Structure 1
Amino acid sequence: MKDHSVKLKLLKTLSDGAFHSGESLGAQAGISRAAISKHIKGIQEWGVDVFRVQGKGYQLAQPFILLDQTTIQQQVDNHVEVHPVIDSTNQYLIEKTATIEKGSVCIAEYQSAGRGRRGRQWLSPFGTNLYFSIYWRLEAGIAAAMGLSLVVGVAIVEAIQNLGIEGVKLKWPNDLYFEDKKLAGILVEMSGQTGGAAHLVIGMGMNLLMQDKDKNIDQPWTSLSEVIGNDQIDRNQLVVSFIKCLNQSLKDYELNGMDGFVERWNKVDNFLDRPVRLIMGDKEVEGIERGIDSHGGVLLETADGIKSYIGGEISLRRND
Structure 2
Amino acid sequence: MKQLNSRQQALLNMLADGNFHSGEQIGTVLGISRAAISQQIKSLRQLGIEVFSITGKGYRLNTPLQLLNPDILRQHLSGAPVHTCAVIDSTNHYMMAQLDRWQKGECVLAEMQTAGRGRRGRQWHSPFGSQFIMSMYWRLDDGPGAAMGLSLAIGVAVVRALEAQGYHGLSLKWPNDIYMSRRKLAGILVEMSAAVGGLCHLVIGIGINLNLSDEVIAQLDQPCAHLAEQPIMVDRNRLSAAVIQELRNALALFERQGLSAFLTEWNRLDMFMQQPVKVLLGEQVIQGIYCGIDTEGNMLLQDKDGVRKFVGGEISLRADH
Instruction: Give your verdict on TM over 0.5.
Output: yes
Question: Is the partner of 1:257 in helix, strand or coil?
Answer: helix
Amino acid at match of 1:221: C
Mapping of 1:246-261 within 5 angstroms? 246-261=247-262
Question: Is the partner of 1:188 in helix, strand or coil?
Answer: strand
CA distance in 2, matches of 1:3, 1:288: 49
Correspondence for 2:188: 186
Correspondence for 1:198: 200
Correspondence for 2:163: 161
Structure 1, unmatched stretches of 5+, are: none
Deviations 1:271-305 (A, max 9, x none): 11211111111111111111111111111121222
CA distance in 2, matches of 1:45, 1:275: 46
Matched, 1:238 2:239: yes
Give the drift of 1:90.
1.1
Structure 2, unmatched stretches of 5+, are: none
Give the drift of 1:46.
2.2
Mapping of 1:1-320 within 5 angstroms? 4-5=4-5, 6-76=7-77, 77-215=79-217, 216-226=219-229, 228-229=230-231, 232-320=233-321
CA distance in 1, matches of 2:199, 2:107: 19
CA distance in 2, matches of 1:186, 1:3: 25
Amino acid at match of 1:203: G
| Matched positions, count | 318
Amino acid at match of 1:52: S
CA distance in 1, matches of 2:136, 2:268: 25
Given the two structures, how large is their TM-score scaled by the length of structure 1?
A: 0.95
CA contact (8 A) 1:225 1:233 kept: no
Deviations 1:78-128 (A, max 9, x none): 311111222211112112310211110110111122111222221111111
Amino acid at match of 2:4: H
Give the drift of 1:140.
1.0
CA distance in 2, matches of 1:318, 1:229: 29
Deviations 1:155-191 (A, max 9, x none): 0001111112121111111111012110011000100
CA distance in 2, matches of 1:2, 1:184: 24
- Of residues 103-112 and 87-96 in structure 1, the stretch that sits farther from structure 2 once superposed is 87-96
Amino acid at match of 1:20: H
Give the drift of 1:138.
0.8
CA distance in 1, matches of 2:45, 2:215: 13
Question: Is the partner of 2:24 in helix, strand or coil?
Answer: helix
CA distance in 2, matches of 1:41, 1:214: 20
Question: Is the partner of 1:74 in helix, strand or coil?
Answer: helix
Question: Is the partner of 1:295 in helix, strand or coil?
Answer: coil
Which consecutive aligned stretches of 4+ in structure 1 deviate over 3 angstroms post-superposition? none
Deviations 1:246-277 (A, max 9, x none): 11111111111111222211110111121111
Amino acid at match of 2:241: V
Give identity over the alignment, percent.
47
Give the drift of 1:18.
1.4
Question: Is the partner of 1:126 in helix, strand or coil?
Answer: coil
Amino acid at match of 1:275: P
